[in-house]
Amino acid sequence: MRFTPFTLFLALVPLSSQSFPGLPNEHLHRHVRRQESVPISIAPNSTAGQISSSPCQEVANLSASSYFVPASIAYNCLISMPFNATIGVSFIEQFKNYLQFQSTLAFLANPPKTSYGIEPVDLMKGLDEISETAETGGYENHYEFEAAIRVLMRRAHDGHLLWQSQCLEGIFFFVRDFPIVALTDSPEDVVPKVYGYNEIYEKLNSNISHTYNISAISQIDGVPVLQYLSDWIETNDRLFSDPDTRWNSLFARSNDPGAFYGSPLYLGDSTKLTFENSTEKTVQWQAYVFGNFTGVTNGEDLYKNCLKPTATSTPDPVSTPTTSPTSSPTPAPQSIQGYPKNPLYVAQDGSISAYNVDKTGIIAIHTFSSFASQGRVFQNSARTIISIFQEMGIAHIIFDVSGNGGGSIVLAYDMFKQFFPTVDPFIALNMRANPASKVFFEVFSDQINNSSLTEEERWDYWTGPFAYYYMNDINGTRYRNWEEFYGPIESYGDTFTNYSRWNIRDKEAFPMNFTVTNGDMMSNSTSPWAAEDIIIVGDGACASMCAIFVELMTRVGVRTFAYGGRPQSGPMQMLGGTEGSFSVAFSTLKTTAQDLALPNNPEKAAEWNEFLPGQLDIPPFMTGGNVNLMNSFGKDDLDTPLDFIYTPADFRVQMSKDYFRDISNLWKDVITKVWSNGTVNKGHY
C-alpha cells in the first residue's frame, strides 16, 4: 500500500475494535469523521494553565472549545472518581456471566505447547482476585479498579474478547501526536530503524531526492528505542496473539496510527525522543474527550454519569444489517487509500481491489465485512476479478490480506470456493458447554417450530448464535436435535459441545438466503489457478474470518508470505490475530437471555437468573463487548484450537523503505522470490 501522511490520525482510524481498541465507534462517527479532510496537529491547549476548583471541572471548561485536554488534567479527573466496592464486586459477578461463554478460557489458563508467545492467564481467577481486592479496600478510586480489569483482559490477546467501559475509554483516550514506523534499508536486513511517520513519508515521497538520510530515533525516554518498544507492546498491543504481529501493530499505516500512538490508560505527561543526530523532541500526551462533561463539576458527578444506563453496545461482528432495496447504490471508489492509484477493479463497497503487477494478478482483500446487497457485492466482485485475470492470461495470483480483521463467515468460505470449487472446506467448531448455553439451546429448539412466531422472530432464532440448525456434525451430517449438537464432551480440563461444521450447502443456513459459490459440491468447475500459483501476503494482522480463509487456502497447498515482525531473524506467522470462528456481542447475549425469561415459568426463570447474563441490564460502567463463542480446529488436530497452534509463513521479509513508499514494490519482490526463473521456489527467511 502507499502510505499517506497525517497529523491527527484519529480521523483515519478504521472503525473496528481490533485495529483501535478502546475508541467507541459512535464517537468516531460523531466527532472525528467530520475532520477527515482537515489535518489537525495536537498541541497543548492554550487555556491549560487556568486553575479551577477540580480537574473534572477544568476538563468541562476546556472541552467546551476543544476535543483535547492535557493528559495530567484528564488523569487527575479520572482518579477523583470515588470507588464503590459493593457496586464493583457486583459488576465482577455480572461480568463473569458474560465471560463464561469465552471458548478459550481453559487454553488461556494453560496454553498448549503448540502455542508461541502466549503467556498463561486465568481470566476467571483474575476477576475473582480483583473482586477480592475491591472488597478489602485495595482500590483508592474507580479508575484503578477499571484499569486492573482492562490489563487483565488484554493479557488474553484475543481480538474477539473485548470489553468497553463507559468510565474508561468512554471518557478519554490518551494520544501522543507522533506516530512512528520501523523500516529497513533492505527487506533482507534484520534490524530496522525507527522513524517519525510524517518525516519519513515526506522524505521518501519527495521529488527532490530519494537518499534516505533522515535521522532515526535512537532512544525513547532514555531507553534504547527497540528495547522501549519491545516492552511497550507487551501491555499496549492491538489484541494479537503473535508477538511479531504485536510488534507490527506498534507502527502507523495509511489507515491506522499504530499502538504507539495512544491508550485509554494514562501513561504519562510527555515522551522524550532522542534522534541519532543527537537532537531531541518532547511529545506531549493529550486526552481526547469522549465523555459528556455537561454539568460535571467533580469526580462524583463523573462517576454518577458512568452508572447511568447507556444504549451503546459493541456491534455484533457476525450480524448482517439489511439494506433498503430502494436506496441509491454508493458509487464505487476509484482507488483504495494506501494502495496503487491504478486498480483494475474496486468493489462498490471497497472490500476488494485488484491490480496487475508484472503480469501477476493482485487481489487485495481489505475486509470480509461486506454487507452491500447482503454480501453479494463481495461475491460478484470476486467473480469479476477472476474473469478479468483469466481474460488477461494471468499466470500467478497474490492475495494481499494486510490489516484484514475479518468479517462474514459466508464470504470467507465463498472466496475459497471460487478458487477451489471441488474441495470440501474443513474447519471444525465447538463452544463451551455450560448451564447457560444448555438453556439457550433447549429453549431455542422449542421455539424454532413455534407457529405463533412472526417471520422476523423466526429468522432471529434461525440465525442466532445458539441455533444449531444450520450446523453439521464433523462428518457433514446435519444434527437432528440440540442434544446431538450439545453433547457435551470433556477436553483440556473443560466441557465443550460436540464438534460441528458450517453447513455451506444449505442456502437457508446463511443470512438472506446467501448461496455460497459451489457450496453444493456438485460443480464441474476446475480451479482457476493451481495452489502453487497462488500466494497470500500479509503483515500478521489477518484475523477472524480472514484467518479462516487463509487456513482453508493453506490446507490445499497455497503458501504464505509475511512481512515485518520483530527485529530478529527467523520465521514469523502470517496469522497473528484471533482464529476464532464466531464472535458474539454482550448485547446479543443479553437479549437472548431476556427472551428466555418470557416462558410462564417463574421458578425456571429464577433458576436461570443465577447464571444467565442479561436478566439485569448490561453491568454498570460497561458500554459493550464481545466474547469468542466458537473455537476453530483443523482436520489434523481436533484437540488444539487454531488460536494456539504456531504456523510460520513460508516466506518472510522485513518492512523496507521501498515497501513503505509503494506497496507494489513488495508485490514485485514476492513475485521474484516465489516464482523467479519460471520455477516454484521453496520458502525462506
C-alpha 501/C-alpha 438 separation (Å) is 19
List Cβ neighbours of 279 (8 Å cut-off, separation of 6 or more).
Answer: 215
Look up residue 103 and give its three cell numbers. Answer: 471458548
Report, as an integer, the average pLDDT of 590-610: 69
Report pLDDT for 456.
67
CB 581 within 8 Å of CB 592: no
CB 168 within 8 Å of CB 623: no
CB 227 within 8 Å of CB 237: no
Look up residue 141 and give its three cell numbers. Answer: 478510586
Report pLDDT for 679.
54
C-alpha 626/C-alpha 138 separation (Å) is 28
The residues facing 70 across adjacent strands are 286
Look at residue 16 and tell me whether its pLDDT is greater than 50: no
Three-state secondary structure string covering 317-375:
CCCCCCCCCCCCCCCCCCCCCCCCCCCCEECCCCCEEEEEECCEEEEEECCECCCHHHH
Give the chain's end-to-end CA distance (angstroms, integer): 22
- 380-396 core/surface letters (b: 16 or more CB in 10 A; e: else): ebbeebbeebeeeebeb
Report, as an integer, the average pLDDT of 577-606: 78
Report pLDDT for 316.
40
Confidence of residue 335 (pLDDT cuts 50, 70, 90): confident
Look at residue 413 and tell me whether its pLDDT is greater than 90: yes
Bigger pLDDT: 269 or 323?
A: 269
Confidence of residue 449 (pLDDT cuts 50, 70, 90): low
Omega within 30 of 0 (cis) for the link into 488: yes
pLDDT, tens only, 41-73: 333 343 444 445 799 999 999 999 999 999 999
Residue type at 642 in one-letter notation: L
C-alpha 267/C-alpha 285 separation (Å) is 8
C-alpha 116/C-alpha 278 separation (Å) is 38
Look at residue 600 and tell me whether its pLDDT is greater than 70: no
- Mean pLDDT across the chain, nearest whole number? 84
Look at residue 22 and tell me whether its pLDDT is greater than 50: no
Question: Largest Cα–Cα distance in the chain?
Answer: 78
Q: What percent of the chain has pLDDT over 70?
A: 79
Q: Which residue from 216, 270, 240, 92 is spatially nearest to 154, judged by alpha carbons? A: 240
pLDDT, tens only, 133-178: 999 999 999 999 999 999 999 999 999 999 889 899 899 999 999 9
Confidence of residue 278 (pLDDT cuts 50, 70, 90): very high
Look up residue 182 and give its three cell numbers. Answer: 520501523
List Cβ neighbours of 494 (8 Å cut-off, separation of 6 or more).
Answer: 105, 106, 432
C-alpha 648/C-alpha 560 separation (Å) is 9
Q: Which residue from 517, 647, 633 is spatially nearest to 576, judged by alpha carbons? A: 647
User: Which long-range contacts (C-beta less than 8 Å, at least 24 apart) are formed by 209-218?
Assistant: 212/185, 212/657, 215/275, 215/276, 215/277, 215/279, 216/275, 216/276, 217/180, 217/193, 217/273, 217/274, 217/275, 217/276, 218/274, 218/275, 218/276
C-alpha 392/C-alpha 19 separation (Å) is 36
C-alpha 365/C-alpha 295 separation (Å) is 46
Name the residue with cell 514494490: 665
* Structural domains of the chain, ranges and CATH numbers in brackets: 9-173+287-307 (no CATH), 176-286 (2.30.42), 345-424+521-579+644-678 (3.90.226.10), 428-518+582-642 (no CATH)
pLDDT, tens only, 463-478: 677 888 778 999 999 8
Its pTM stands at 0.87
pLDDT, tens only, 518-570: 655 556 689 999 999 999 999 999 999 999 999 999 999 999 999 999 999 99
Report, as an integer, the average pLDDT of 276-280: 96
List Cβ neighbours of 80 (8 Å cut-off, separation of 6 or more).
Answer: 54, 55, 56, 141, 298, 299, 302
Name the residue with cell 429453549: 443
